[in-house]
Amino acid sequence: MDLIPPDGRTDEAALKERIAAELEAVRRRSFGLTTEVLDHEELTVQHSPLMSPLVWDLAHVGNYEELWLLRAAAGIEAMRPEIDDLYDAFEHPRTERVQLPLLPPDEARSYISTVRSKVFDTLDRLRFSPDKPLLDDGFVFGMVIQHEHQHDETMLATHQLRRGNAALAPRPAPPAADASNLPAEVLVEAGPFVMGTSVDPWAYDNERPAHNVDLPAYWIDTTPVSNRSYLAFVESAAYDDPRWWSPDGWDWRCRSGKRAPGFWQREGGGWLRRRFGSVEPVPMDEPVQHVCWYEADAYARWAGKRLPTEAEWEKAAGWDPATGTHRRYPWGNDPPTASHANLGERHHQPAPAAAYPDGASAYGVRQMLGDVWEWTSTDFRGYPGFTAFPYLEYSEVFFGADHKVLRGGSWATHPVACRTTFRNWDFPIRRQIFAGFRCARDAHVA
């Protein structure tokens, strides 16, 4: 379900109905990843120092909702001001959160359910006025819904890191793909395009404002790099060859001792992977995931290519050269369906490379939304004319060379939080996220 058109206002009553439905849906998802599948110990233990205890994420989404929907938007007095500090992501790094006096699972569920009940009580009486930026076109509700879905994806990463038997119900396998007649790469011709958005009312501040970017011609891979292709890199001993690594990347490789993507293990003459408590052969046709930026960058060098810039990625994904317009999704402005992309936890793994021909961009590039987040070569910074809204800590505090931009979403990303302008970012060492990549190269004119 698409919540709001990207290029105009919508009927307020209809929008509120869709908001209510999405609030219900995201909460079912959150409970389905926590209190409905794991016991008290599993929810309160820290499964990895990279991640919060799951019970922290659960209460945090409710506290965030209280802060923005009840206090900031509706002007309601704080329910539990004494817990604000516990669930402030900037006050306590993830490694410390397990030691905090967190709400136990039953109390956390009760608290966030009470918050949600009050939100529904206030939704009808609030007016989505353009004079109030938080409420204009329901922005603050979209922010909260996207925020909870983003934490649900984080909780899925925690599930992947936890040991023991699988806790999540299996999902069907993704559709097959036929890449036999698909070109390995496509040419994106030189010229300007409009990057970002100034019209999508639920876009985050870092996606704004729309601005013109003029790019030289380049080639970009038609599909993400597959496990089969990445395995050739592994088996060529590239992890032991500093020629393919940046200085920082080689330092990471030497200190970490990594020799393959996260969750891979060699057994006999083959490779296995661990996925949500199960061990299985690595599916060669799937896009590689659980690789960090340094690994993606090294592979691209080894392949004689490079990672695309963020602007190159967005032009290939969202620009329609025939009409000179920017598409909200690679295929157009219609909401994602099961034939377009692997999104919303429909499957618990990427689909084979070359899947979803209906989801191809105007340039014929596939799987630019869903399956795996894609590393780009670009540092995370604000666009020209950037203005922080509604708070500095969403984007601006992360600007700089420490974070690399990822694009496109993964199989775990909900469609509400996925569009061709959406920007994700992380440290270049991160491998627990559902990230892969595709390559690009310059188009040299003879």
Q: Note the helical H segments in 258-362.
A: 293-302, 310-318
Report which of 398, 348, 418 is spatially closest to residue 167, judged by C-alpha positions.
348
Report which of 292, 290, 268, 291 is spatially closest to residue 281, judged by C-alpha positions.
268
Quick: pLDDT tens for 339-394.
999 999 999 999 999 999 999 999 999 999 999 999 999 999 999 999 999 999 99
The DSSP result for 158-195, as a single string, is HHHH--SS--SPP-PPPPP---TT--SEEEE-SEEEEE
User: Which ranges in the chain are annotated with CATH 1.20.120.450?
Assistant: 12-161
Q: Does domain 180-446 bear CATH number 3.90.1580.10?
A: yes
User: Which ranges in the chain are annotated with CATH 3.90.1580.10?
Assistant: 180-446
Q: Is the pLDDT of residue 1 over 50?
A: no
336 in helix, strand or coil? coil
Residue 3: pLDDT band with limits 50, 70, 90: low
Cα-based distances in Å from 343 to 25, 373, 410, 412: 15, 11, 6, 6
Tokens of 260: 């393959």
Quick: pLDDT tens for 167-213.
999 999 999 998 888 999 999 999 999 999 999 999 999 999 999 99
436 in helix, strand or coil? strand
Report which of 98, 114, 116 is spatially closest to residue 57, judged by C-alpha positions.
98
Burial call 335-374: b when 16+ CB within 10 Å, e when fewer: ebeeebbbbbbbbbbbbbbbbbeebbbbbebbbbbbbbbb
Q: How far apart are CA 229 and CA 287, in angstroms?
A: 9
Q: HSE (CB half, 13 Å, CA atoms) of 229?
A: 22
Mean pLDDT of 146-151: 98
CATH number of this structure's domain 12-161, picked from the four choices 1.10.443.10, 3.40.50.720, 3.40.630.30, 1.20.120.450: 1.20.120.450
Q: How far apart are CA 78 and CA 71, in angstroms?
A: 6
Q: Is the pLDDT of residue 8 over 90?
A: no
